[in-house]
Amino acid sequence: MKERLAEFRQLLAAENLEGFIVASPANRRYLSGFTGSSGVLVISREEAVLLTDFRYLDQATEQTQAYGFQVKKHPPELWETVAEEIKGKCAGGRSRWGFESDHLVEKHYRTLKEQLDGCCFLTPTEGLVNRLRRKKTGVELDAIRKAVEITDRAWARLLPELKPGRTEKEIAALFEFFQRELGAEGTAFPTIVASGPRSALPHGEPTDRQIEAGDLLTLDGGAIYNGYRSDFTRTVVVGAEPTAQQQALYDLVLKAQQAALAGMKPGMTGKEVDALAREVIAAAGYGDHFGHGLGHSLGLEIHEAPRLALTDETVLEPGVVYTVEPGVYLTGWGGIRIEDVVVVTAGGIENLTGSPKRLKP
Ligand SMILES: [Mn+2]
């Protein structure tokens, strides 16, 4: 695992950075292997240090060894210690140290700036570690596969439990319980369950609403396995035959998803893949009702760059994992979304999600 540190140092050299401060939990875990909830990485050309507190010392030492980090305990003031650690490494007064502008809290930045004035320049960066995290290695893909499989199996167990009278909260709780029972470390994000007219809310939080026969029900959830996440959405009709309109809209969303799954391949941009699905929905007259991007990458975090979206120019590469999740939402009526997780291969994609796609399960 030391190669991650070596690759990151190559990036630092290319960016003309003498060192780097990692505050993001996901980047910290990716580079150092440390899974604890608190700690900062201080990475220079020569040394890589994880500063953490008493609670995590033994765990951190064990987890980071293979990644090439040494662990140091910080006194109560973490950010004062980070500054001290950098001071010892930035002789000369001209070195540039990078930090994550989207993760370093302003007051911690101020502490560093006061302490390091005249010693080094703090340089804001964005997405530097993410450049390494985009392409998943075999070990990472195995974890994602397992997380996806857990979610598929939890969904299969949940289907017979989807009955009129159950509340959205109960359904979310059952789904999360099944995932835990099947080996998940936790839920990838708070489970979305939205039924009836509420299914028009793309991110409807589960409520006490009781499911009624004939309701659309959208569940969007995922599992965590070895730190890696799955993401999954299905819409079904509960306790009745689908109406013609429900079926027509479902078929449209499915057709849009299939167009993207069949067409996406390395060399295309995220924007082009988004268009494959969006054009199908727009041609049917529902373009204004698909108001979010087609998909996003995921891994240690549920939403990672790059995306499949109107504005994403990133070129698809083998080894990058994406969700493909078109949806149509009609306020007051309901909504439909279907989401799979895929990995880009040499010639197209492999769909990791195995759950059937049927409006009437
Ligand atoms: Mn998603």
- How many angstroms is it from 147 CA to the middle of ligand 1? 14
> Is 80 exposed, middle or buried (CB count within 10 Å of its CB: 0-12, 13-18, 19+)?
middle
What homologous superfamily is domain 138-351 in, according to CATH?
Answer: Creatinase/methionine aminopeptidase superfamily (3.90.230.10)
- Cite the beta strand spans of the chain per DSSP E: 19-22, 40-44, 48-52, 70-73, 95-100, 120-125, 186-187, 192-195, 216-221, 223-225, 228-229, 232-237, 295-297, 304-308, 321-324, 327-330, 334-337, 340-344, 349-351
Q: How many CB atoms lie within 10 A of CB 93?
A: 11
Q: How is residue 146 written in tokens?
A: 């397992």
- How many angstroms is it from 305 CA to the middle of ligand 1? 12
Residues 6+ apart with CB under 8 A from 90: 18, 19, 97, 116, 119, 120
- How many angstroms is it from 201 CA to the middle of ligand 1? 14
- How many angstroms is it from 261 CA to the middle of ligand 1? 15
- How many angstroms is it from 240 CA to the middle of ligand 1? 28
- How many angstroms is it from 325 CA to the middle of ligand 1? 7
- CB of 338 closer than 8 Å to CB of 253: yes
- How many angstroms is it from 173 CA to the middle of ligand 1? 19
Tell me how far apart the alpha carbons of residues 208 and 166 are, in angstroms, rounded to a whole number: 9
- How many angstroms is it from 312 CA to the middle of ligand 1? 16
- How many angstroms is it from 323 CA to the middle of ligand 1? 6
- How many angstroms is it from 328 CA to the middle of ligand 1? 15
Residue 92 pLDDT: 64
Domains 2-133 and 138-351 share a fold: no
Fold of 2-133: Creatine Amidinohydrolase; Chain A, domain 1 (3.40.350)
Tell me how far apart the alpha carbons of residues 49 and 71 are, in angstroms, rounded to a whole number: 6
- How many angstroms is it from 140 CA to the middle of ligand 1? 18
- How many angstroms is it from 350 CA to the middle of ligand 1? 17
* C-alpha distance from residue 286 to each of 146, 218, 282, 329 (Å): 35, 19, 5, 9
- How many angstroms is it from 203 CA to the middle of ligand 1? 10
- How many angstroms is it from 266 CA to the middle of ligand 1? 21
- How many angstroms is it from 294 CA to the middle of ligand 1? 9
Task: Provide the residue ranges of all domains of the chain, joining segments of one domain with +.
Answer: 2-133, 138-351
- How many angstroms is it from 190 CA to the middle of ligand 1? 12
- How many angstroms is it from 234 CA to the middle of ligand 1? 11
Closest among 325, 358, 343 to 220, alpha carbons compared: 325
- How many angstroms is it from 165 CA to the middle of ligand 1? 28
Closest among 263, 256, 307 to 285, alpha carbons compared: 256
Q: What is the largest CA-CA distance in the chain?
A: 74
Residues of the chain with pLDDT under 50: none
3-state secondary structure of 20: strand
Residue 77 pLDDT: 87
- CB of 335 closer than 8 Å to CB of 233: no
At residue 194, φ and ψ (nearest 5 deg) are: -135, 125
- How many angstroms is it from 104 CA to the middle of ligand 1? 26
- How many angstroms is it from 151 CA to the middle of ligand 1? 13
- How many angstroms is it from 283 CA to the middle of ligand 1? 24
3-state secondary structure of 49: strand
- CB of 123 closer than 8 Å to CB of 323: no
- How many angstroms is it from 110 CA to the middle of ligand 1? 35
